[in-house]
Amino acid sequence: MSQHYPALIVIVPLLAAFIISVAGWINKKLCFPIAVAAVTVSTGSSIGLLFRVMNEGVVHYRLGGWLPPWGIAYYVDQLNALVLCVVTVAALLNLIAAKKSIEQEFPERIGPFYTLYVLFVTGMVGITVTGDAFNLYVLLEIASITGYALIAMGDKDRAPLASLNYLYMGTIGACFYLLGVGYLYIATGSLNMVDIARILPDLYQSKAVLGAFIICMVGVWIKMAFFPLHGWLPNAYTFAPSASSSLIAPLMTKVMIYVMIRLILTVFTPKFAFATLAISDSIVWLACIAIVMGAIFALAQRDLKKMLTYIIVAEVGYMVGGAWLGNRAGMTGAILHIMNDALMTLCAFLVVGNIVYKVKGYAFDNLKGLFAKMPFTMGAFVIAALSFIGVPPTCGFFSKWYLISGAIQAGHYGFMVALIFSSLVNVVLFFRIIEIGYYEPFSDHHGHDHPAEPMAEAPLTMLVPLYIVAAGLILVGLYTGNIVNHIIRFVIPGSFV
């Protein structure tokens, strides 16, 4: 069965989604175990695939038995395998942690919610593992449609409008990507990524290829919320229910960054993206603006969830800037940051989920005295805060280190200044919350303060995954050297200095 790992990762959640949909009508209690079993099989297969790729190199899988470019083929190298592991592990931990909050918020709609959850995971995993440009579009649409529905189930007043705005921008982004693939098809006649890369070098001067590149990039930037195309993200992630936001926020933008890196490294080889086009400098400046604006908007917010969404906008700027710096350290930092940012964002949003489950609100006023009331949750929050700021040995420090050394090596001091500015602003943001949570006494808005608040921590099914992620933040930081040397080093082509 191990030669079928690339297929199993996507197919088992897909089949499970249909079974969950039927189970939702017959017996609601079956939905959660089936979902956990499916995502666990997917996680096991992706870890197995990672080890296979580390031993053998690139893994190919032909769907339908047809050779590429006539059939759809999977092309799994170290970059895919790493992102696959991150996506499946994050989805599994979030599924376990979100069980109580789903049962609290929509008790009669458990079946459809879990169906869409597992289909979203299928979409994310499918985008990561595929080697065919059009297949990526179809899976992107699966992930997007299920994402719109998952987000719209939140706050009754604001969530449908936020989701509809996300739908408009997301559709424009996906259609731009489709148009770019169409231009590439007209110019080369093929849809397979490796095949396109083989044919393209003769066509670098073609205006159609230049148009295809720009349109694909703009489409992917819209889907990853790169400033100024980020308008949909804050509202969509803030008003979503906690189970959805802690699933979608860590994964959607990071997988889109993976798509961008895949387009730069494999489809339009670095020779085209960096040398022929010579726009990498301006894109790094755009990334600097994204980081600074994300940090400034985050400072202006008065509630925790919206502040975290603007921090996501800034983190996207880190990764886009790092990838477009054009040197080995920058690209290593960007790829490492995909993994680290997914874990950090998952940790932060799981904390918010715990807070919402107990306190029913996430504005700064609701956070007073939480360190006494929910010490374990806020402990994990402190670890996540240290990672966002970039304190060793958490993983955030190491990816920032690679990004800054890449910036210095490329001579792009503006990017380095933006990174340091963002770290300082994160210090202010997170210490402000720690101060509200630790020093202010808890008040429940009735006017009288309780002297010694008894601890009312979130249930264990929500705490254990949270602590696994928080421990992961530190472990991934300590093992950064191994990850870079055994996995990421082989992804970056030799032409990078």
Answer for which of 9, 59, 92, 153 binds another protein (CB under 8 A) is 153
Q: Residue 106 — φ and ψ, nearest 5°?
A: -135, 80
Tokens encoding 230: 């980020």
Tokens encoding 145: 């449609």
Residues 6+ apart with CB under 8 A from 409: 327, 329, 330, 497
Q: How many CB atoms lie within 10 A of CB 278?
A: 9
Answer for which of 33, 57, 71, 441 binds another protein (CB under 8 A) is 71
Nearest approach, Cβ of residue 206 and another protein (Å): 5
Nearest approach, Cβ of residue 285 and another protein (Å): 19
By CB under 8 A, tell whether 363 contacts another protein: no
By CB under 8 A, tell whether 279 contacts another protein: no
Question: Can you tell me the distance from the alpha carbon of 154 to that of 152, in angstroms, rounded to the nearest whole number?
Answer: 5
By CB under 8 A, tell whether 207 contacts another protein: yes
Answer for which of 41, 54, 58, 175 binds another protein (CB under 8 A) is 175
CA distances from 185 to 1, 180, 193 (A): 35, 9, 11
Site for another protein (CB under 8 A): how many residues?
Answer: 74
- Find the angle CA(323)-CA(325)-CA(330) to the nearest 5 degrees: 65
Question: Can you tell me the distance from the alpha carbon of 84 to that of 11, in angstroms, rounded to the nearest whole number?
Answer: 14
Question: Can you tell me the distance from the alpha carbon of 471 to that of 434, in angstroms, rounded to the nearest whole number?
Answer: 20
Tokens encoding 448: 């009288």
Q: How many CB atoms lie within 10 A of CB 294?
A: 26
Nearest approach, Cβ of residue 195 and another protein (Å): 8
Alpha helix (H) residue ranges in 360-459: 370-373, 375-389, 395-410, 413-439
By CB under 8 A, tell whether 18 contacts another protein: yes
Q: Cis peptide before 69, with omega less than 30 degrees from 0? A: yes
Answer for which of 32, 75, 183, 232 binds another protein (CB under 8 A) is 183
Tokens encoding 365: 């006023």
- Contact between 401 and 391 under an 8 Å Cβ cutoff? The reply is no
Nearest approach, Cβ of residue 193 and another protein (Å): 14
The residue among 96 and 118 lying less far from another protein, judged by its C-beta, is 118
Answer for which of 2, 51, 66, 464 binds another protein (CB under 8 A) is 66
The residue among 163 and 399 lying less far from another protein, judged by its C-beta, is 163
CA distances from 147 to 83, 177, 244, 385 (A): 19, 18, 8, 27
- Find the angle CA(277)-CA(282)-CA(285) to the nearest 5 degrees: 155
The residue among 119 and 343 lying less far from another protein, judged by its C-beta, is 119
- Contact between 234 and 253 under an 8 Å Cβ cutoff? The reply is no
The residue among 64 and 447 lying less far from another protein, judged by its C-beta, is 64
Nearest approach, Cβ of residue 264 and another protein (Å): 19
**Residue type for 215, please?**
I
Answer for which of 112, 393, 414, 459 binds another protein (CB under 8 A) is 112
By CB under 8 A, tell whether 247 contacts another protein: no
Question: Can you tell me the distance from the alpha carbon of 449 to that of 411, in angstroms, rounded to the nearest whole number?
Answer: 55
Nearest approach, Cβ of residue 278 and another protein (Å): 18
By CB under 8 A, tell whether 122 contacts another protein: yes
Answer for which of 172, 296, 382, 417 binds another protein (CB under 8 A) is 172
By CB under 8 A, tell whether 295 contacts another protein: no
| Backbone φ/ψ region at 73: left (φ over 0), alpha (ψ -120 to 50), beta | beta
Nearest approach, Cβ of residue 68 and another protein (Å): 10
By CB under 8 A, tell whether 35 contacts another protein: no
> Under rule CB under 8 A, which residues in 184-203 are in contact with another protein?
185-191, 199
By CB under 8 A, tell whether 58 contacts another protein: no
Answer for which of 55, 56, 156, 446 binds another protein (CB under 8 A) is 156
Question: Can you tell me the distance from the alpha carbon of 315 to that of 240, in angstroms, rounded to the nearest whole number?
Answer: 20
Piece of the chain touching another protein by CB under 8 A; list 113-121, 261-269, 386-394, 420-428:
113-121
Tokens encoding 240: 């979503």
Tokens 């670890």 label which residue? Answer: 383
By CB under 8 A, tell whether 204 contacts another protein: no
The residue among 170 and 437 lying less far from another protein, judged by its C-beta, is 170
Piece of the chain touching another protein by CB under 8 A; list 14-22, 293-301, 303-311, 474-482:
14-22
By CB under 8 A, tell whether 300 contacts another protein: no
By CB under 8 A, tell whether 231 contacts another protein: no
By CB under 8 A, tell whether 128 contacts another protein: no
Answer for which of 28, 52, 109, 432 binds another protein (CB under 8 A) is 109
By CB under 8 A, tell whether 113 contacts another protein: yes
By CB under 8 A, tell whether 149 contacts another protein: yes
Q: Residue 392 — φ and ψ, nearest 5°?
A: -65, 155
Residues 6+ apart with CB under 8 A from 26: none
